[in-house]
Amino acid sequence: MTKLDQIRAAESRLLLPTYDRNPILFTGGQGVHIVDEQGERYLDLLSGIGVNALGYNHPAIVDTIARQSRALIHTSNLYFHEGQAELALRLTDLTGLDRAFFANSGTEAWECALKLARAHAGIKRSQGGNIGTKFLALEQSFHGRTFGAMSTTYKDKYREPFAPVVPGVEFVRFNDVADLRAKFSTEVCAILVEAIQGEGGVRPLTPEFFEEARALASSTGALLIADEIQCGMGRTGKWCAYQHYGIQPDITTLAKPLAGGIPMGAVLCTEEVSHSFHPGMHGTTFGGGPLACAVAIAVIDCIEKEGLLAQATEVGNYFQDQLRVLAMRHESIVDVRGRGLMIAAELDSADLAKLAVAEMLKRHILINCTSETVLRFLPPFILERAHVDTAIAALNEIFTEYTAAHAAAPSVGGHHRG
Rule CB under 6 A: choose which of 31, 55, 83, 106 binds ligand PLP.
Answer: 106
* Binding of ligand PLP by 229 (CB under 6 A): yes
Please give the sequence-ordered ranges of beta strands (E in DSSP) within 38-142, or none if there are none.
41-44, 99-103, 134-138
* Binding of ligand PLP by 346 (CB under 6 A): no
* Binding of ligand PLP by 151 (CB under 6 A): no
Q: Which residue sits closest to ligand PLP, CB atoms considered?
A: 106
* DSSP run (H or E) holding 368: strand 368-370
Segment interacting with ligand PLP, rule: CB under 6 A, options 87-95, 223-231, 333-341, 379-387: 223-231
CB 215, CB 249: distance < 8 Å: no
Segment interacting with ligand PLP, rule: CB under 6 A, options 91-99, 114-122, 191-199, 333-341: 191-199
Closest CB to ligand PLP among residues 172, 398? 172
Output phi, psi for 219, to 5 deg.
-70, -20
Q: What SS3 state is found at 120?
A: helix
Closest CB to ligand PLP among residues 53, 395? 53
The nearest distance, CB 299 to ligand PLP, in angstroms, is 16
For 320, half-sphere exposure in the C-beta direction (CA atoms, 13 angstrom radius) is 18
* Binding of ligand PLP by 159 (CB under 6 A): no
Strands 251-254 and 365-366, how do they pair? unpaired
Closest CB to ligand PLP among residues 142, 245? 142
What is d(CA 228, CA 241) in angstroms, rounded to the nearest whole number? Answer: 7
Rule CB under 6 A: choose which of 31, 55, 144, 234 binds ligand PLP.
Answer: 144
The nearest distance, CB 407 to ligand PLP, in angstroms, is 38
The DSSP line for 187-232 is TEEEEEE-SEETTTTSEEPPHHHHHHHHHHHHHHT-EEEEE-TTTT
Strands 342-347 and 374-377, how do they pair? antiparallel
Q: With CB under 6 A, what is the number of residues at the site for ligand PLP?
A: 15
Segment interacting with ligand PLP, rule: CB under 6 A, options 177-185, 226-234, 339-347, 350-358: 226-234
Segment interacting with ligand PLP, rule: CB under 6 A, options 54-62, 102-110, 178-186, 318-326: 102-110
CB 189, CB 122: distance < 8 Å: no
Segment interacting with ligand PLP, rule: CB under 6 A, options 100-108, 129-137, 266-274, 348-356: 100-108
Binding mask 58-97 for ligand PLP (x = CB under 6 A): ----------------------------------------
The nearest distance, CB 275 to ligand PLP, in angstroms, is 25
Closest CB to ligand PLP among residues 352, 367? 367
Neighbours of 100 (CB within 10 A): 21
Rule CB under 6 A: choose which of 142, 239, 242, 402 binds ligand PLP.
Answer: 142
Kindly provide the b/e burial profile for residues 25-58, where b requires at least 16 CB atoms within 10 angstroms of the residue's own CB.
ebeebebbbbbbeeeeebbbbbbbbbbbbbbbeb
What is d(CA 88, CA 300) in angstroms, rounded to the nearest whole number? Answer: 12
The nearest distance, CB 35 to ligand PLP, in angstroms, is 24
Rule CB under 6 A: choose which of 47, 64, 84, 107 binds ligand PLP.
Answer: 107
CB 254, CB 233: distance < 8 Å: yes
* Binding of ligand PLP by 203 (CB under 6 A): no
Residue 231 CA: distances (Å) to CA of 83, 146, 188, 354, 382: 24, 20, 25, 24, 16
Rule CB under 6 A: choose which of 194, 212, 250, 359 binds ligand PLP.
Answer: 194
Closest CB to ligand PLP among residues 8, 337? 337
What is d(CA 314, CA 308) in angstroms, rounded to the nearest whole number? Answer: 9
Segment interacting with ligand PLP, rule: CB under 6 A, options 113-121, 225-233, 269-277, 346-354: 225-233
What is d(CA 12, CA 378) in angstroms, rounded to the nearest whole number? Answer: 29
Q: Looking at residues 293 to 322 of the shown chain, list those that interact with ligand PLP (rule: CB under 6 A).
A: none
Rule CB under 6 A: choose which of 46, 150, 205, 255 binds ligand PLP.
Answer: 255
Strands 134-138 and 169-172, how do they pair? parallel
Contacts of 385 (CB under 8 A, 6+ apart): 315, 318
Closest CB to ligand PLP among residues 118, 145? 145
Burial of 282 (0-12, 13-18, 19+ CB in 10 A): middle
Residues near ligand PLP (CB under 6 A) are: 105-107, 110, 142-144, 194, 198-199, 227, 229-230, 255-256
